[in-house]
Structures are given as C-alpha cells and as structure tokens.
A = this chain, B = another copy of it.
C-alpha cells in the first residue's frame, strides 16, 4: 500500500495544520490539557469536521471519548510535519518592504534565521544599519551556496524578480517567497509561495465589486 504518504495531504489541510500547531502552543501556555476538534475549529473559524480530517491525515492520535491531549497532539504535528527544523533565510531587495522583512523579529520564534540581505544598489548596503550581513546582488549565488541558505525572499521590483529567482536557484536555494507582483518561472524542485500585495488588493477590490452588484 502506497497511501498515507505525507505527499497526499491537501495543501489547504497542511496550512490549517500549521495554524492548529500554533493554536496548541497557546493552549499549552494557558495550561489547557485537552481540547476537542470543535474547540479548535471555533478558535480557527473552521468546521470541526475539517480539523478532524486534517489531523487524521497524520494518523490516529485523539482519545475517542475526550478530545486531544494538547501536548501530545502538538508534538504529533510538529514531528510529522518536521516543524522543528531550522532554516536559513535571506532577503533580496532592501527597499522599505525588504528592510522590514529583514528585521522581522518573529521569524526567530518560528525557526527561521535571517542570515543575509542583498541589494543591487551598493550605496544602500552602507546606509542600512543592521547586524545582518549585507551583500551586493551579484553575490547572491555565491553567498547562498556558501552559507547554505535554504529560503530566499524576493522583494525586488518586478523587473528584477525573474533574474533574482534565477540567481537564488543557481545558488541552490530550496524555497522562495515572492513578494513581487509577477509570476516567476521556477524549477519544480524549488518550492515557492507568492505574496502579492497588489494582486491581493485587486482581488479584494473585485470581490467587493461583485459583492455590491449581487446585493443590488
């Protein structure tokens, strides 16, 4: 039997499981011992059914009578989804947005180490005060390789985005978060996620317009 592979977990389920994991952290701090799928669902704005199905992708863990043991479920998810792994991360493009990400302190708590920043404007590298090492953009591939950086955050202007992705890939990057509002061609071995503020804003605006026209 080939089933029950982690590969088989739907992306939306994965995403929810990560939220569950964080919620469990909070429950643990609050000294809560046990939670039910409906507790979790309520806090997350998701149906209890979904939570149960999501959890069940990772194998049995709950107590038929009385919900899930908070610590046990937390460990279960962390182990199955490899959440304790630490990853080195770099930021390319040190405009306002890139600089904000570079200094985003919450990365630390989630196992991400911001170890480098890049910009093609060398003057900018000197004006930014930071304890994080900064490099000119043409060194991306070298530095990524040398430091073993696994994740690259792209915060450059649209025009430079594809080239940035290529350089990161050349350095052996394993994952990319793309803040630029364009679709990148990226090798299938490199995972990536888009975070397109303009795109989301436009989509939101369109949803608002549709919502209007429907209630007319």
Chain A residues at the B interface, C-beta cutoff of 8 Å? 5-7, 9, 11, 14-15, 18-19, 22, 43-45, 81-83, 85, 87, 89, 95-97, 99-101, 103-104, 106-107, 110-112, 150-151, 174-177, 181, 183, 185, 189, 191-193, 195, 197-211, 213-214
**Stoichiometry (number of copies):** 2
* CB of A34 to closest CB in B, whole Å: 21
Whether A206 contacts B151 by the Cβ 8 Å rule is: no
Q: How far is the CA of A35 from the CA of B18 in the complex (A)?
A: 41
* CB of A178 to closest CB in B, whole Å: 10
A192 contact set on B, CB distance < 8 A = 204
Which among A89, A104, A175, A203 has the highest number of chain B CB atoms within 10 Å?
Answer: A203
Q: How far is the CA of A99 from the CA of B83 in the complex (A)?
A: 31
Indicate which residue in B11, B97, B211, B213 contacts A104 across the interface (CB closer than 8 Å). B97
Q: How far is the CA of A106 from the CA of B196 in the complex (A)?
A: 12
Whether A204 contacts B181 by the Cβ 8 Å rule is: no
Q: How far is the CA of A15 from the CA of B112 in the complex (A)?
A: 30
Whether A205 contacts B151 by the Cβ 8 Å rule is: yes
Q: List 26 A-B contacts (CB under 8 A).
A: A7-B210, A9-B210, A11-B203, A14-B207, A43-B183, A45-B183, A45-B185, A82-B206, A82-B209, A83-B205, A85-B205, A96-B99, A97-B100, A97-B101, A100-B100, A104-B197, A110-B198, A111-B205, A151-B204, A151-B205, A175-B208, A177-B197, A189-B211, A191-B211, A192-B204, A193-B200
